[in-house]
Structure 1
Amino acid sequence: DVGLSLSVHLGCSYRSLGVVYTEGGMVEGKNIRLGWSRHMDVFRGIPFADIPGRFEKPKKHPGWDGVMKAMEYKPRCLQLNLIMTDTRGSEDCLYLNIWVPHQGAVASHLPVMVWIYGGAFLFGGSMGANILNNYLYSGQEIADRGNVIVVTLGYRVGTLGFLSTGESDLPGNYGLWDQQAAIAWVHRNIRSFGGDPGNITLFGESAGGASVNFQTLTPHNKGMIRRAISQSGVALCPWGVIKNPRKIAEEVALKVNCPTDSRMAACLKLTDSVQLTLAGTLNLNSSPDNPVVNNLVLSAVVDGDFLPDHPSNLFHNAANIDYIAGVNDMDGHLFTAFDIPSINSMVVDTDVADLKRMLAAYTSDKGIKGMEEAFSVYSADWSTTPDRETVKTTAVDIGTDYIFLVPTQAALYLHAKHATTGRTYSYIWMGADHVDDLQYVFGKPFSTPLGYWPRHRDVSRYMIAYWTNFAKTGDPNQGGSKVPATWPLFTSRDQYLEIHHDMDRSYVHQKMRMRFVKFWTSVLPSLPNATKSE
């Protein structure tokens, strides 16, 4: 039968979902051939919500007629440019992108990995930075190597995403509601794309890692998230929740000529969106006394709705979610270098006094006693005259511990403590600065091989294996991809995995930086609060 043999022949060479039916209407992506019997459908720019109202929760998209060609990334949400002198992006930005691998047969019932980008809740886009037409957050390598569906989403950032008075007139958390709307859309629609709505893993980095954690803690996602991965950021980070949102709202109001009384919210709602966005800049004139981390002022608020309580009291909501959280061992460097520029100098020594000033800022509510205790913990292993390198490294360690590592350990303890079926895993990435991990997780050493050495491909292969195994089974060691070391559960003696390009089983350790974790989580809080005179 010629017809049969022809269709069998075509079936082997071309696999695609074709036109996909979603709740808003039909969409068609782009089909790419990756190799013999390996194809992928890529959908860019599918709306998951309507154009959002100012300072409002996202609303359902009204839908469309005919077939929407989902071929191009949509603009990122309106935000500052990186040097904060101008804006880019659009208020019409609630779109997501989907990568669907077809290996041997058209995808069905695949695990789904949903990426939430970072950028201090001020910057970022679902496609990431574009280097030589290769987008950082292209899900292609993860989807192809791990045989999982990858989704990336857009959410409002800056003032439009997070400005809040702490009252119902301007409740805040709009960017988190956008993420939640995208997760719910994936849960409702991903089956049409060959995904398993019962196996959704969130992953994200920095503010995206904290967002992932917030999404597992809010009661609004009950039953939708199976697993989650937080890279260099959790809800408990000192920049995760705004302590005094009203103060920030008033500062923004003054910049855009709005009153700061009862009329403030109404005025802000009518202010030009570009002016509002420019008013939410980050003060980078930092110093050891005014560290940059204290200026990351636009983030989540305890609003009684998305976050009914402080995140530390919501871990029961993640009891059946499998969770990986970890940091890079130099995560603090990017931030500490703003505060103490000398740490990047090969020539200039870093003054120990600068280190003390930074510690004083981090421990300010405990006064001079807090700083002295902190300094004695961090200088305990110094010789009487520490060399240049020791002081610089200690400065980075302090930043890493305070901004990322200790809050991440605290989140892991809370997750493990409240877990019922959820498993808990911990890691630290060696020799990596903040954001260094992104290129490896997204497989850049494979998609742009000229920029990397073979050892970079090794670490990228390991990461994608651990991450996608975890998405499939809840165990990073099992799921069809080979891994270099068995990663134990955090709950067995606080064990964690050290990620490195030449890993073997000796890369499993326990009790990460325990002396410092204990200092920040129990010694410091037990000190009396400083009186105003100190």
Structure 2
Amino acid sequence: MNFLNLNITVPQNVLECPSVELLPVLFFIHGRAFIGGSQSVQVTGPIARKQPIVVVSCNYRVRPLGFLASKELAAFNRAHDEPVGDYELHDQRQALVWCNKFIAGFVGEPDNVTIQGTSAGGSSAHYLSIFPMRKFRSAFLASGTLTGIGPMSLEYQQRNYDKYISRHAGASTALDGNTVALLQSIAVNEMVKPVSDGISHSLIDGEWIPGATMEKVCNLFKDGFVPDLMVGACDFEVDLAQLLLMEDMISKKPASDAKMREKIYDLASSNGMIVAPRKFPDAYSNITDLDDITSSLEQRSSAMQAWADILADIAFRFPGLHVAAHHAANILVYEIRCKTHIPYGAGRSAAPIMLSMICSSLM
């Protein structure tokens, strides 16, 4: 199954005028917590039709197809001279390489590419901004950064991998413990079941991704080129944070207190701003008092809205400011203060529309 494909939208009047100069390119990366989403559901087409820009959006592998990582897979990748893990990001990187080679044939300027993503797409854009041989000039990180939705260690990934393998192995011993061969034997439609109840995290591989802290990230800009950034969030990030505290993405029932605690720890562990995630936020009375969650530390489900607020802060709102304090090039920080009556996951599109319009006006 081919997951890596592109959608290219070019203004009609430009195609009808062959002498026109090459146009700036907006490369859009979709979101949905790295567990779903598609470039086909975004709003990039209408933006391109109304602006003198070429818009490219891409699909990439998500859920286990994009994020499974383990010692076994690492050995397999190295044996085939491939990067270890983070298949979703390398899909996006390859799409940008293709763009750099061929976008001129669609009236796009290869040396004037801006990447933009929302939520997990924003995190992707941030990851790509630290990769070597970048094929873009600037990046817009809309409601997502590698600091807020960060990478995790191989040990963390191994635990998830082992659980995943145990679910699919059953009583079969035909493959003699070769877990990579087992994965290769599973149909794609079966691999992605069931829908994950949390965010997928990229892998800290020590080469492409050194970690989630800005200190480690900034050390990668050794080639002298640091891309300009625009980063920010929206008022209703709490909608997604509240969804993360549910039992799963389908039933949308509140998780148990124990599971909610683990979900909060999981997100805090990947966060590049929190130095002691196991103690967060319980050990910090100034935070628990400010967010009015002191009385719900043991029974977190009793104050789900307040806990969703603090998760939205550490995952989406504060990371932009943290990134801005460390970034070595130009950076613009924004906050969209608007409300939506459409709940997350029900076709909400206000933020992508606004951000795409802002991006196109600044290019």
Change (3 A) 1:178 1:364: closer
By how many angstroms is 1:468 displaced?
A: 1.0
Q: How does 1:27-426 map to 2 (within 5 A)?
A: 91-101=1-11, 102=13, 105-106=17-18, 107-128=20-41, 137-166=42-71, 167-169=74-76, 171-219=84-132, 221-222=133-134, 224-237=135-148, 239-243=149-153, 244-257=156-169, 263-278=178-193, 281-283=195-197, 295-296=198-199, 298-310=200-212, 312=214, 313-317=216-220, 319-336=225-242, 339=245, 361=265, 365-366=278-279, 370=283, 372-379=285-292, 394-415=306-327, 418-419=328-329, 423-426=330-333
1:485-508 superposed Cα distances (whole Å, 9 cap, x missing partner) = xxxxxxxxxxxxxxxxxxxxxxxx
1:385-434 superposed Cα distances (whole Å, 9 cap, x missing partner) = xxxxxx7764442121122112232222222xx22xxx101111113466
| 2:36 partner letter | F
**Aligned mates of 1:335, 1:310 — CA distance in 2:** 20
**Aligned mates of 1:408, 1:467 — CA distance in 2:** 17
Change (3 A) 1:162 1:465: closer
**Alignment partner of 1:278: what SS?**
coil
Contact kept in structure 1, 2:27 and 2:113, CA below 8 Å: yes
CA RMSD in angstroms comes to: 3.5
Contact kept in structure 2, 1:95 and 1:154, CA below 8 Å: yes
Contact kept in structure 1, 2:31 and 2:117, CA below 8 Å: yes
1:469 partnered with 2:361:
yes
By how many angstroms is 1:241 displaced?
A: 1.2
Contact kept in structure 2, 1:256 and 1:275, CA below 8 Å: no
Gapped regions of structure 1 (runs ≥ 5): 1-90, 129-136, 284-294, 342-352, 383-390, 444-459, 473-534
Contact kept in structure 2, 1:335 and 1:399, CA below 8 Å: yes
**Aligned mates of 2:206, 2:263 — CA distance in 1:** 33
Change (3 A) 1:249 1:230: same
Identity %: 22
Change (3 A) 1:441 1:144: farther
By how many angstroms is 1:328 displaced?
A: 1.1
**Aligned mates of 2:312, 2:287 — CA distance in 1:** 14
Aligned residue-pair number? 314
| 2:332 partner letter | Y
**Aligned mates of 1:396, 1:122 — CA distance in 2:** 20
**Aligned mates of 1:414, 1:428 — CA distance in 2:** 19
1:180-206 superposed Cα distances (whole Å, 9 cap, x missing partner) = 000010011111111111110001111
1:143-202 superposed Cα distances (whole Å, 9 cap, x missing partner) = 133211000111111111110005333631111111000001001111111111111000
Q: Larger Cα Rg: Structure 1 or Structure 2?
A: 1
1:94-140 superposed Cα distances (whole Å, 9 cap, x missing partner) = 21011111358444311000010011111111201xxxxxxxx2433
Contact kept in structure 2, 1:177 and 1:306, CA below 8 Å: no
Change (3 A) 1:211 1:464: closer
By how many angstroms is 1:225 displaced?
A: 1.2
**Aligned mates of 1:404, 1:360 — CA distance in 2:** 14
By how many angstroms is 1:278 displaced?
A: 1.2
**Alignment partner of 1:332: what SS?**
helix
By how many angstroms is 1:273 displaced?
A: 2.4
1:343-377 superposed Cα distances (whole Å, 9 cap, x missing partner) = xxxxxxxxxx99x9699855761278525443123
**Aligned mates of 1:179, 1:404 — CA distance in 2:** 22
Using CA pairs under 8 Å that are at least 6 residues apart, name the structure with larger relative contact order, 1 or 2. Answer: 2
For 1:428, the equivalent position in structure 2 comes to 335
**Aligned mates of 2:345, 2:140 — CA distance in 1:** 15
By how many angstroms is 1:331 displaced?
A: 0.3
**Alignment partner of 2:55: what SS?**
strand
| 2:227 partner letter | I
Change (3 A) 1:332 1:185: same
**Aligned mates of 2:157, 2:244 — CA distance in 1:** 24
Contact kept in structure 2, 1:204 and 1:230, CA below 8 Å: yes
**Aligned mates of 1:168, 1:269 — CA distance in 2:** 15
Change (3 A) 1:340 1:301: closer
**Aligned mates of 2:290, 2:145 — CA distance in 1:** 24
Contact kept in structure 1, 2:242 and 2:305, CA below 8 Å: no
Normalising by structure 1, report the TM-score. 0.52
By how many angstroms is 1:141 displaced?
A: 2.2
Change (3 A) 1:180 1:368: closer
Change (3 A) 1:399 1:124: same
Contact kept in structure 2, 1:359 and 1:374, CA below 8 Å: no
**Aligned mates of 2:338, 2:140 — CA distance in 1:** 20
**Aligned mates of 2:242, 2:316 — CA distance in 1:** 12
Q: How does 1:2-41 map to 2 (within 5 A)?
A: none
Contact kept in structure 1, 2:27 and 2:56, CA below 8 Å: yes
1:54-104 superposed Cα distances (whole Å, 9 cap, x missing partner) = xxxxxxxxxxxxxxxxxxxxxxxxxxxxxxxxxxxxx22221011111358
| 2:111 partner letter | G
Structure having the larger proportion of residues in strand: 1
Normalising by structure 2, report the TM-score. 0.75
| 1:198 partner letter | D
